[in-house]
Amino acid sequence: MSLALKDIAFSPTRFILTVLGVGFLITASIGMVGIYRGIVDDAMLLVEKVGADLWIVQGGRQGPFSEGSSVRADLDQRVAGVAGVTSARRFLQVSQQFDAPDGVGQMRAAIVGLDYPKDEGNWIDLVAGRSIATGHFEAIADETIGLALGDVVRLNHDDYTIVGITRQMVDLSGDGILFVTINDAMEIAQRRSSEEVLLTRAVMDDAGPEAALSPAANKVAAVLATVDPAADIAAVRASIAAWGDVNVMSRADQRDLLLNQRLWRLRVQILAFTGVLLIVMTIVISLIIYMMTLEKLHQIAMLKLMGARNSLITGMIAQQSAAISFLAFGVGIGLAKLIFPLFPRRVVMAPDDITYLFIAVAVIAACASLIGISRAMRVRAQEVLA
Amino acid sequence: MSATIHVENARKHYQSGDTTVRALDGVTIEARPGELIGIMGASGSGKSTMLLIAGLLEPPTEGEVFFRGERVSCPGADLDRLRAFRRRNIGFVFQKANLIPFLSAIENVALALKIDDVPKRAAHDYAEALLVELGLGHRVDNRPARLSGGEQQRVAIARALANDPPLLLADEPTAALDSVRSRHVMELFRTIADVRGASILVVTHDPRSVDLFDRVYEFSDGKIVATSRRTAPEALAAH
């Protein structure tokens, strides 16, 4: 006969509500950690997926994610000529707001240029459709943008047909990525209003034809170099850096910049909030167990009067604490799996994080039990007469 | 035959601010096997304190407690270590039945046996037999909330008897019951004393059952002011 289970069965509604309440707290904790992981994963997505060993960006800058970067569009040819470089691809990313295909409302995407045909986007995980197969006016869209295969969207002055769909390919801010060819991306990046064109034409008379071009014309954000595994990457990096007009960054540099500078405050904030949630959870579970113990003080005194060993009393409290905590953990996981896919940003439930959270919940349950047990141990048998 | 319980010259003094409260002031009582002893007196006369000391729940400030001739309590005694002794030798019944609300009648009784490491099946069977013996055969699976006050008190008595203790202590067991049920409970104690040979100390205000007691101690201001035997219950009933 388990006294803990008998007590739970005696008032199941209260127990279920308690488990649900603690379960929601655990869901919130999973969510906070998951959002953190999601933001980090999203930030790292392009850096990791695109597979470049070196990022050649504007000199004196640490772009293209942490700072703006703009290099000449033909820089890739210079990079490709460096000994040890096996391929050089141009990279450009611009955020764009555009009209939805049905004309109702607007959509937002991070437009990333693929250096087609050198880069056909084979590293992009498609869930539907195909990769880009022509030099212009085809696009691969992430499903979070809200576009479907065959949709046509107007970007700058051209129409683009969606030929492929990806899942969970978003930029740092959570905007879905729309892949187009690098030439199309450069065209989209230099979008100008008619008034701006007229003004630059007026300037053209005084300043020559170059002034009519957008500042973004013939520019890309970076050149991505893949280095021969047999080559000395440090030597390759040094020889490119020696040009002086560019800055060379490794994949690890990009990762470090994103995590420890660009996202630092956000990471600390989310982790701090997760800490606060864990403290709240500890207090709530402890309070629940303590109150449950207080309600049973008379019965505990009676058990002591009957000569019950302390192990029976501590077992009852610990079992109830464990039942609440571990069932709530299960409920928390279930709710998280149910709710988080509906969230606008990715919530990553990493097995390691879930394991750590389980350990945290077990420790919290143990602490809560100790508080209840310590109160129960102070009860004297003669309090039955009180 | 030695007394089951013998409390010798027990004093219990409490400090309340600057005042010393003499809850018990040199009391000696004893109960032999098969005796039903009444302890009567006004509120604050020391009856319940006497029960706490006899039940090994409080040590006396002075005096000693002997159980079957062996000293078990004295001033400063660590009574918590006597938990197992209490479990096997003393049964308690109170004004309130103090049943565990989430256990059925049979589980409440069986719990006392399981605490004493009696196997589950045997504990269950004996608990059922006890409840049947006390006229609760039809209520074994009911939780306390579904039982009347008298039935709850009988379950509490069954629980107190579960380990077949030689000593039963009852503190105002009939205070919450009407006169008919009070009489039934007191008669039950009488039967238990006669049949099982247990010593039973009953603290009560109720003079209507004094005819059932073998001996009655009258308490006042922490002292025994009168002792009467079964042969003369009328005098005490008039108190």
What whole-number distance in Å separates Cα of residue B50 and Cα of residue A79? 100
Helix (H) or strand (E) holding B6: strand B5-16
The C-alpha R_g of chain B, in whole angstroms, comes to 18
Helix axis angle, A12-49 to A3-10, nearest 10°: 100
Q: Which of A92-96, B50-54, B77-81 has the lowest mean pLDDT?
A: B77-81
Instruction: Give chain A's end-to-end CA distance (angstroms, integer).
Output: 28
The confidence score (pLDDT) of residue A267 equals: 85
- Half-sphere exposure at residue A327, Cβ-oriented, CA atoms within 13 angstroms: 14
- The confidence band for B144, taking pLDDT boundaries of 50, 70 and 90, is very high
Residue B207, burial from CB neighbour count under 10 angstroms (0-12, 13-18, 19+)? middle
Give Cα A168 to chain centroid, integer Å: 10
- The confidence band for B235, taking pLDDT boundaries of 50, 70 and 90, is very low
Domain ranges of chain B: 36-56+80-237
Chain B hits for A319, Cβ within 8 Å: none
- The confidence band for B146, taking pLDDT boundaries of 50, 70 and 90, is very high
Interface test with B, best of A379, A380, A385 (most B CBs within 10 A): A385
Query: Any CB–CB contact under 8 A between B172 and chain A?
Result: no
Q: Do the bridges between strand B62-67 and strand B215-220 make them parallel or antiparallel, or are there none, so unpaired?
A: unpaired
Contact flag B98-A384 (C-beta cutoff 8 Å): yes
pLDDT tens, residue by residue, A241-282: 999 899 999 999 999 998 888 888 988 898 899 889 889 988
Nearest to B101 by CA among A290, A303, A321: A303
Segment A182-193 shows an average pLDDT of 82
The confidence score (pLDDT) of residue A156 equals: 83
CATH 3.40.449.10 matches B36-56+80-237:
no
Contact flag A306-B112 (C-beta cutoff 8 Å): yes
- The confidence band for B239, taking pLDDT boundaries of 50, 70 and 90, is very low
pLDDT tens, residue by residue, A293-308: 889 898 899 898 888 8
What whole-number distance in Å separates Cα of residue B174 and Cα of residue B51? 16
Q: Which residue in the block uniquely carries the two structure tokens 């009655």?
A: B216
Give yes or no for residue B174 having a pLDDT over 90: no
pLDDT tens, residue by residue, A120-149: 888 899 999 999 998 889 999 999 999 999
Segment A168-184 shows an average pLDDT of 91
Query: Any CB–CB contact under 8 A between A297 and chain B?
Result: no
Interface test with A, best of B79, B93, B111 (most A CBs within 10 A): B111
Query: Any CB–CB contact under 8 A between A384 and chain B?
Result: yes
Scored b (16 or more CB within 10 A) or e, A83-118 reads ebbebbbbbbbbebebeebeeeeebbbbbbbbbbee
B36 φ, ψ (degrees, to nearest 5): -110, 110
- The confidence band for A192, taking pLDDT boundaries of 50, 70 and 90, is low
Contacts of A18 (CB under 8 A, 6+ apart): A288, A324, A328
- The confidence band for A177, taking pLDDT boundaries of 50, 70 and 90, is very high
pLDDT tens, residue by residue, A343-385: 988 899 999 999 999 999 999 889 889 999 999 999 988 888 7
Contacts 24+ apart (CB under 8 A), A16-22: A18/A288, A18/A324, A18/A328, A19/A324, A19/A327, A19/A328, A19/A331, A20/A328, A20/A331, A21/A284, A21/A328, A22/A281, A22/A284, A22/A285, A22/A288, A22/A324, A22/A325, A22/A328, A22/A331, A22/A332
- The confidence band for B236, taking pLDDT boundaries of 50, 70 and 90, is very low
Q: Which of A309-318, A359-368, B141-150, B174-183 has the lowest mean pLDDT?
A: B174-183
B147 φ, ψ (degrees, to nearest 5): -105, 150
pLDDT tens, residue by residue, A26-80: 999 999 999 989 988 888 888 888 888 999 999 888 878 878 888 898 899 999 9
What whole-number distance in Å separates Cα of residue A62 and Cα of residue A71? 12
Query: Any CB–CB contact under 8 A between B84 and chain A?
Result: yes
The confidence score (pLDDT) of residue A278 equals: 87
Percent with pLDDT over 90 in chain A = 49
Using DSSP, state whether A85 is helix, strand or coil. Answer: strand
- The confidence band for A204, taking pLDDT boundaries of 50, 70 and 90, is low
Check residues A322 and A2 and name the one with the higher pLDDT: A322
Check residues A307 and B8 and name the one with the higher pLDDT: B8
- The confidence band for A13, taking pLDDT boundaries of 50, 70 and 90, is very high
Provide the mean pLDDT of chain A.
Answer: 88
Strand order from edge to edge, sheet including B70-73: B19-31, B5-16, B62-67, B70-73
The confidence score (pLDDT) of residue B97 equals: 87
Residue of chain A minimizing CA distance to B90:
A306
Complex ipTM more than 0.85, yes or no: no
Q: Are residues B177 and B115 in contact, defined by beta-carbon separation less than 8 angstroms?
A: no
Nearest to A143 by CA among A166, A110, A112, A174: A166
